[in-house]
Structure 1
Amino acid sequence: MHITNSKFVKKHMTTLGLGLALLLAAQQVIAGTIIDVSQYGVTKNDGSDSTYQIRKILEMAKQQGATKIVFPKGKYDFYPDRAMQKNVYISNNDPGVKRIIFPLDGFENLEIDGQGSDFMFHGGVNPFVLEDGKNIKFSHFSVDFKRSFHSEASVLATGDGYLDIHIPEAFPYKINTAGILTFVGLQDSPPGKILIPKLERRIAVDNASDYQFKRLLEFDAKLRETAYMRKDIQTGNGLPAEKLPGDRNVRIFQKDLVATVGNIMTFQAKYRKYPGFVVSDSSDVVLDNITIHHAGGMGLLAQRSHNVTMQNSKVTPSEGRYVSTTADATHFVNCTGKIQLLNNLFENQKDDATNIHGIYVAVDKILDAKTIDVRLQHPQQYGFDFIDAGDTLELVHAPSMNTYSTAKVASSERISEEITRVVFQDKFDSRLQEGDSIAEVRDYAEVLIKGNTIRRNRARGMLLNSRGKTVVEDNYFHAPGSAILFEGDANFWYEQGGVSQAIIRNNVFDNSFYAQWGTGIIAVAAGIDNKYKESSRYNKNILIENNTFKVFDYAPILNLFSVDGLVFKNNVIEKNSAYPARAKYKHLFVVNHSDAVSIEKDNTFVGFEKSKEELTKFSTSL
């Protein structure tokens, strides 16, 4: 008998207890199909905590093989108290024990359909963590946090070494006894929670680091984008401050504080603990019609996963905020198959729209002719596992970024979160030395980035470093730094790059590179030591055609380093006066230590004072 709408279940939910109600419903409803959460104790639009019910529903769904979990349209709230706790390593974010609202471990053939719902998360939680999943879809809901992990303030006045700011109520703060401005969380609990003052104070202290900041950045209040030519102001964990007359008015002190009255000063979150969606070791994952208003880190982080698509979705601030995610909108690490970003809006995030790359690991110690210890170098890569028996690894000379050999893995053992011991099947190349790097040779992901809008964020548009075929077409870019950056390094982020085929066509680059992040609208770089710049060529085979570049001065359209093969053809370059021209830039095309670079004659230049011949000359400096 089908009793999805059973009055009995609804009426006696509290008396039977949630566990028994779920058991009764599971026996009579699931049958391997669709779960409507409203039938299992999940309520909407009342601020109540749905976390525990969701955990039980997920357990039931896995047991019964449900294919869809549906949330009737409404607002649902999730708090940390009853979230699953688990130690999670998330590349390019801060690792640690996470409180996970939707723990999706080992799920297959499941869709979570919000039907237009708003999911509101409270406190330090990780909304979605998918591990070892297959054929998973997230659709038709938004993700937001009641208290964002960054903070914002409007600029009231400026002076020598100080700013006067007004801090809205949405961003709670305090000035401590030492006269330091710090930000804190909301006093935020679900309706009906019994509050124990001493316990609440302890929790507030434990979570204080979630709202620490490390730098400031000014946003233009009218354009709702990073302010023209402003750069990050480094601050540490707090700023000297004093209260001013007026509600929530504060004066902050630091010698390099600069801003325009009326603009917005944003306080960058120190940590990346709470990305919106984490996808690990999974395949065939789709985000469709998802809106990410905020996350404490990346919006979507996919690692070691196969076939990941985000489409028809948005990363955009909620009303009243200037910043969406506190880091990249999307980020992909050591992924395979196909990465697709289709018809999305990425705006106002505090870093790039996407970064697609692999991982380099440094050779820490050579133990014998077959055995080495390798070390993850950047703290936000600690715990990242990618070396398994049977894998092939490339051996890379770190200063030149040249791959000189490969070796097949017999076994690997994690020694600590930084160190892994690797035993190869055969003796490795005798050129391998401590300080070199290794990376996985894999089915490098094919990348399709089509129909997206990228604008108003801090830093760059897209970092594209997959060795699979990469196509970027029909997108709109308005980024303050480089709209597109190809790079790779084995000396800081240890991100494996080196594109082998990239096509950039039919895009609009609308006055990108109007601020501080990058060296040109499209930049190609690599972390190569000066000694090897003449011989090393890291990125290859880049075609840039049929695009429109709107520019306001002579900053580089292309700034190339260590490229072998680039063609720039049939593009339109239009000069305008959208921003003040910068005198320091003299050349549209800067090329260094590269081969086979061609600026074709069919490119069109509109509105320039210089001749086409002058405009297309290569320079080796800005």
Structure 2
Amino acid sequence: MNTAVAKARTADHNNIDDTLYVSDFGLKPNTKENAVQAVYQALKKAKGMKNPVLAFAKGRYDFWPDKMLERTYFESNTTDNNPKRLAIFIETMQHLTIDGKGSSFVFHDRIQPITIEKSEQIVIKNLAIDWEFPLTAQALVVDTNSNYLDISLDAKQYPYSIVDGKIIFSAEGWKGVITGVMEVDKETNLIAYNTGDNPSALGSGWQKYTAEKLGKDIVRLHYAFKRKPAKGNILILRHNDRDHALMFINESRNVHIQDVNAYHCAGLGILSQYAENVSFERVNIVPNKTKGRYFSGHDDGLHFSNCRGTIKVEACMFEGLMDDPINVHGTYVRIIRKLGSNKLLCRFMEHMSTGMPWARAGENIAFIDNTSMKTVGNTTVQAFKQISTTDFELTLTSAIPSTIQEGFGLENMDWTPTVLIRTSTFGGNRARGVLVSTPKSIRIEHNVFKSSGSAVLIAGDVNSWYESGAVTDCLIKGNKFLSSCNNSLYQFTEAIISIFPEIPVMNEQTDRYHRNIRMEDNVFFAFDYPILFAQSVDGLSFKHNQLHRSYEFKPFHPRKATFTLIGCRNAQILDNTIDPELLGKNVVLEYMDTHDLRLQDDFILSH
């Protein structure tokens, strides 16, 4: 080894014995050779080291599915196409750092790039992730007509054919038909105004199109589309399943991801499941602009299912996602049958969240009335027995109360995290901004939101998505909510901030589901009426915020109130700075009395 290389390695890491270089395993950058086996061998050797650092010389590294490890994983909110093919597999390791040194990791076919399994003290940093042929496509709108739509498709980036009048994308062993279409404003990078899920970018019935190739890169879609996209805008064409994550952090703890650019994934971005203490710093899930793309991930950006400890997201950026940038939740399961005095048959109800190890001996669980969503008791797990991917038996340390009925829900209270999200940017993404449901402390501070739907959604339900976590302590402070927020309709987008637990029976007597949610010192630029929608909150505070009127878009939302409060208690809307031109300046109350709300004089109650 020459002196210069030795000095460089020493500068990278104080203990050279702990540093491995993939080049020492025969892997060189920019060759397009398959990196999989060399990385496997390097990680195998790293297992015997105390504080291993696996370093890559800066460049491009390609990962192909040949000779790849395969594992069966049941990943939350992901299609159970098994086995998963694992490119970089970190299993039962401690104190490992993977340093890409600014490298690009390029993947081929359907692959899970990075999997962290039963490990702790793991750092992934200084790299970019992309696909040679992404499992999403885009097209330029060239012309529109009452009976057809002309688009330009780059066949080099998005290989396709036309079969029986339909566009079929295929490359490297996969293929897919178009299942969803989004329109992006080419100049602003935002989802086009009022083109969310309702109405869609092309209107209802768009799947009846017939495709015809006119010439190089030009395809005509014959159909009287109910909605016409703007000429010059971009259509995002979704055409594949969400069958793997970009990174899967499973049953691991103290994992830190920093300085990572994630340009694409066919499923969730970074999925943390039964993980403890995970943090993200300068992680950007954004389109690869060097390739002219306007999309990034196929679904959520950072997804947290049944985690605990602290989730920390700082100085990150999210843009071009086809679902929510951040989603934090637990998993409700349903009681199917009582098998004995202390034994239950339970079921995962959401078809993309099954097969997980839902509980362990000694963990605390809560009984949930599925009609009122009220917690009606607690108990402790004695044993968990998997029956199938959907069903399991739960043995409890005490007798089941007679008031607990089949059909009620269960929540695992031991897997609930504290959440800190700050100084991050939520750009143009298909759905909402931050979804968060956890009973531990939540802080959403000093972020910028340009979300197409609601910027913040606090939900919870035990009858539909089965995502658990009634909020008890949430502070939303110092954020900027720009005018693009809530400019399209998606599920639960009742306002810029939407607090919307799905409670089947709601009336004056219904117990409050969420508690202690405060919104302070934020700045809103609202083009439409609804700024806050809140249902079933005890202790709701909206204070010291600035409410500005924006004229960037035309109002369209069916709700015509600035604030809608349903079944809330101990609410206050006080000391806010109000633009005289702000729409509405009104508050609608349902299942509440006026004494449940302290209201500043600038607003009026309406019915």
Asked if TM exceeds 0.5, the reply is: yes
Instruction: Name the structure 1 match of 2:64.
Output: 79
- The match for 2:371 among 399, 408, 411 is 399
1:599 alignment partner, one of 563, 573, 586:
573
Give the aligned residue type for 2:313.
L
Partner SS for 1:348: coil
Aligned twin of 2:125: 139
Taking structure 1 as reference, are residues 524 and 100 closer, same or farther at Cα in structure 2, changes over 3 Å only?
same
Q: Helix, strand or coil: the match of 1:226?
A: coil
- Aligned 8 A contact 1:588 1:615 in 2: no
> For 2:256, what is the secondary structure of its paired residue?
strand
Aligned-partner Cα distance in 2 for 1:523–1:148:
33
Maintained 8 Å contact 2:25/2:41: no
Match of 1:306 among 273, 276, 280: 276
Secondary structure, in 3 states, of the residue corresponding to 1:394? strand
Distance of 1:106 and 1:212 partners within structure 2: 39
| Range moving further from structure 2, 232-241 or 297-306 | 232-241
**1:27 corresponding residue in structure 2:** none
- Gaps in structure 2 of 5+ consecutive residues: 7-14, 587-599
SS, match of residue 39 in structure 2: helix
**Taking structure 1 as reference, are residues 237 and 578 closer, same or farther at Cα in structure 2, changes over 3 Å only?**
closer
Matched residues in 2 for 1:173 and 1:306: separation? 42
Identify which of 450, 463, 470 aligns with 2:435: 463
How many residues align structurally? Answer: 575
CA-CA distance at 1:349 after TM superposition:
0.9
Matched, 1:558 2:532: yes
Q: Distance in 2 between matches of 1:297 and 1:379?
A: 15
1:137 partner SS: strand
Q: Does the 8 A contact of 2:366 with 2:378 survive in 1? A: yes
Tell me the distance in 2 between the aligned counterparts of 1:225 and 1:608: 23
8 A contact 1:118–1:142 mirrored in 2: yes
CA gap 1:88/1:611 in 2 versus in 1, 3 angstroms: closer
User: What residue number does 1:159 align with?
Assistant: 145
Q: Give the secondary-structure state (helix, strand or coil) at the position aligned to 2:604.
A: coil
> Residue 424 in 1 paired to residue 396 in 2?
yes
One-letter identity of the residue aligned with 2:195? R
Q: Deviations over 1:146-165 (max 9, x none)?
A: 11111111112223454221
SS in structure 2 opposite 1:244?
A: strand
Supply the AA of the counterpart residue of 1:550.
Answer: F
Between stretches 606-615 and 157-166, larger displacement belongs to 606-615
Q: In structure 2, do the counterparts of structure 1 residues 594 and 3 end up closer, same or farther at CA, with 3 Å as the change threshold?
A: same
Q: 2:72 is matched by which residue type in structure 1?
A: N
Query: How far apart are residue 526 of structure 1 and its match?
Result: 0.9
Q: Do the aligned residues in 2 keep the contact of 1:316 with 1:324 (CA within 8 Å)?
A: yes
2:35 to 33, 50, 57: 50
Is the contact between residue 576 and residue 607 of structure 1 (CA under 8 Å) also seen in structure 2? no
Q: Does 1:171 find its partner at 2:171?
A: no
Query: What one-letter code is carried by the residue in structure 2 that aligns with 1:598?
Result: Q
- Contact in 2 for aligned 1:174/1:182 (Cα 8 Å): yes
Residue of structure 2 equivalent to 1:221: 186
Residue 259 (structure 2) aligns with:
289
Match of 1:568 among 542, 546, 552: 542
Listed one character per residue, the Cα deviations across residues 288-311 of structure 1 (whole Å, up to 9, x for unaligned) are 111111111121110111100001
CA distance in 2 between counterparts of 1:491 and 1:212 reads: 31
1:520 to 495, 499, 502: 495
Post-superposition offset of 1:231: 2.4
CA contact (8 A) 2:585 2:604 kept: no
The reply to whether residue 542 of structure 1 matches residue 517 of structure 2 is yes
Q: Deviations over 1:62-94 (max 9, x none)?
A: 134452100111111111112211111111112
Match of 1:480 among 452, 464, 475: 452
Structure 1 segment 49-128 matched on structure 2, within 5 A: 49-95=34-80, 96-128=82-114
Q: State the SS of the aligned residue for 1:58.
A: helix
Answer yes or no: is the 8 Å Cα contact 1:32–1:66 preserved in 2.
no
Per the TM alignment, residue 590 of structure 1 is displaced from its structure 2 partner at its CA by 1.0
Unaligned runs of 5+ in 1: 7-29, 187-203
Question: Which residue identity does 1:172 align to in structure 2?
Answer: P
For 1:405-457, what per-residue CA distance to the aligned partner results, in whole angstroms no more than 9, with x for missing partners? 11211111101111111111221111222211111011631111110011111
CA distance in 2, matches of 1:606, 1:307: 45
Q: Distance in 2 between matches of 1:212 and 1:583?
A: 32
What's the Cα RMSD here?
Answer: 2.4
Give the Cα–Cα distance (whole angstroms) in 2 for the partners of residues 237 and 331 of structure 1: 30
1: CA distance between counterparts of 2:605 and 2:361?
48
Determine the C-alpha separation between the residues in 2 that align with 1:114 and 1:362.
43
Identify the residue that residue 276 of structure 1 maps to in structure 2.
Answer: 246
- Verify the 8 A CA contact 2:547 2:576 in the aligned structure 1: no
In structure 2, what is the Cα distance between the partners aligned to 1:174 and 1:562? 51
Distance 1:503 1:394 in 2: 25
Shift of 1:245: 2.0
Moved more, 237-246 or 112-121: 237-246
Contact 1:411 1:422 in 2 (8 A): yes
**Distance in 2 between residues matched to 1:147 and 1:238, nearest whole Å:** 24
Please report how far the alpha carbon of residue 583 of structure 1 lies from its aligned counterpart in structure 2 after TM superposition. 7.2
Structure-2-length-normalised TM-score: 0.90
User: Are residues 370 and 324 of structure 1, via their aligned partners in 2, closer, same or farther at CA, if it must alter by over 3 Å?
Assistant: same
Q: Secondary structure at the match of 1:401?
A: coil
